[in-house]
Structure 1
Amino acid sequence: MLAALLERFGTPLTITEVEDPQIGTGEVLVDVLATCIPPYAAEVFSGARRYPLEPPVISGVGAIGRVVRTGPDATRLHPGDLVWCDATVRSRDDAAAPDITLQGWSSAGEGGLTLSRYFHDGPFAQRMRVPTENAVALGDVDLADVARWSALGILLVPYGGLLAADLQAGETVVVSGATGNFGSAGVAVALAMGAACVVCPGRNAAVLRDLESRFGKRIRTVTLTGDGEADRAAIQAAAPAAVDVVLDLLPPSAGTGPVRAAALTVRPYGRIVLMGGVGMLGGDDLALPYPWLMRNSVTVRGQWMYPRMANHQLIAMIRSGVLDLSHEAVTVFPLTAANEAVEHAAAHGLPFQRTVLAPSGDLAGEAQT
Structure 2
Amino acid sequence: MLAAVLERFGNAAAEALAIKEVPEPVVGTGEVLVDVLATCIPPYAAEVFSGERRYPLEPPVISGVGAIGRVVRSSPDATRLRPGDLVWCDPTVRSRDDAVTPDITLQGWSSAGAGGVTLSRYFHDGPFAERMLVPTENVFPLGEVDEAELPRWAALVVLLVPYGGLLAADLRAGETVLVSGATGNFGSAGVAVALAMGAATVVCPGRNEAVLADLVARFGERVRPVVLTGDGDADRAAMQAAARGPVDVVLDLLPPSANAAVARAAAMTVRPYGRVVLMGGVGMLGGEDLALPYPWLMRNSVTVRGQWMYPRTANVGLINMIRSGVLDLARERVTVFPLVRANEAVRFAAAHGNPFDRTVLCPRTDLGERAAT
Deviation, 1:364, is 1.0
**What pairs up with 1:10-21 in 2 under 5 angstroms?**
10=10, 12-21=16-25
Aligned counterparts of 2:72 and 2:288: Cα–Cα separation in 1: 48
SS at match of 2:158: helix
One-letter amino acid of the structure 2 residue matched with residue 7 of structure 1: E
Aligned counterparts of 2:291 and 2:152: Cα–Cα separation in 1: 38
1:108 to 82, 102, 112: 112
State whether residues 33 and 362 of structure 1, in contact with CA within 8 Å, keep that contact through their aligned partners in structure 2: no
Aligned counterparts of 1:322 and 1:9: Cα–Cα separation in 2: 40
Structure 2 counterpart of 1:65: 69
Deviation, 1:368, is 2.2
SS at match of 1:153: helix
1:33 to 12, 33, 37: 37
Aligned counterparts of 2:300 and 2:36: Cα–Cα separation in 1: 48
Structure 2 counterpart of 1:7: 7
RMSD of the alignment, in Å? 0.6
Structure 2 counterpart of 1:201: 205
Aligned counterparts of 1:134 and 1:288: Cα–Cα separation in 2: 36
Structure 2: give runs of 5+ residues left out of the alignment: none
Q: Would you say 1:310 and 2:314 are equivalent positions?
A: yes
One-letter amino acid of the structure 1 residue matched with residue 147 of structure 2: L
State whether residues 26 and 131 of structure 1, in contact with CA within 8 Å, keep that contact through their aligned partners in structure 2: yes
Which deviates the most, 255-264 or 192-201?
255-264
State whether residues 335 and 361 of structure 1, in contact with CA within 8 Å, keep that contact through their aligned partners in structure 2: no
Structure 1 counterpart of 2:162: 158
Q: Would you say 1:95 and 2:104 are equivalent positions?
A: no
Structure 2 counterpart of 1:86: 90
Q: Would you say 1:224 and 2:224 are equivalent positions?
A: no
Aligned counterparts of 2:369 and 2:25: Cα–Cα separation in 1: 27
Q: Would you say 1:355 and 2:359 are equivalent positions?
A: yes
Structure 2 counterpart of 1:211: 215
Deviation, 1:365, is 2.7
Deviation, 1:361, is 3.2
Deviation, 1:258, is 1.1
Aligned counterparts of 2:222 and 2:245: Cα–Cα separation in 1: 12
Aligned counterparts of 2:356 and 2:348: Cα–Cα separation in 1: 14
TM-score, normalised with respect to structure 1: 0.99
* Alignment deviations for residues 12-37 of structure 1 (CA, whole Å, 9 cap, x no partner): 10000000011111000000000000
Deviation, 1:366, is 2.6
SS at match of 1:35: strand
* Alignment deviations for residues 145-201 of structure 1 (CA, whole Å, 9 cap, x no partner): 000000000000000000000000000000000000000000000000000000000
SS at match of 2:144: coil
One-letter amino acid of the structure 1 residue matched with residue 351 of structure 2: A
Structure 1 counterpart of 2:327: 323
Aligned counterparts of 1:27 and 1:253: Cα–Cα separation in 2: 37
Structure 1 counterpart of 2:341: 337
Deviation, 1:82, is 0.3
Structure 2 counterpart of 1:293: 297
Deviation, 1:257, is 1.4
TM-score, normalised with respect to structure 2: 0.98
State whether residues 155 and 189 of structure 1, in contact with CA within 8 Å, keep that contact through their aligned partners in structure 2: yes
Deviation, 1:353, is 0.1
SS at match of 1:364: helix
Structure 2 counterpart of 1:276: 280
Structure 1 counterpart of 2:140: 136
Deviation, 1:241, is 1.7
Deviation, 1:367, is 2.1
Identity %: 80
Aligned counterparts of 2:192 and 2:127: Cα–Cα separation in 1: 26
Q: Would you say 1:186 and 2:190 are equivalent positions?
A: yes
SS at match of 1:159: helix
Structure 1: give runs of 5+ residues left out of the alignment: none
One-letter amino acid of the structure 1 residue matched with residue 326 of structure 2: V
SS at match of 2:23: coil
State whether residues 197 and 240 of structure 1, in contact with CA within 8 Å, keep that contact through their aligned partners in structure 2: no
Aligned counterparts of 1:64 and 1:204: Cα–Cα separation in 2: 32
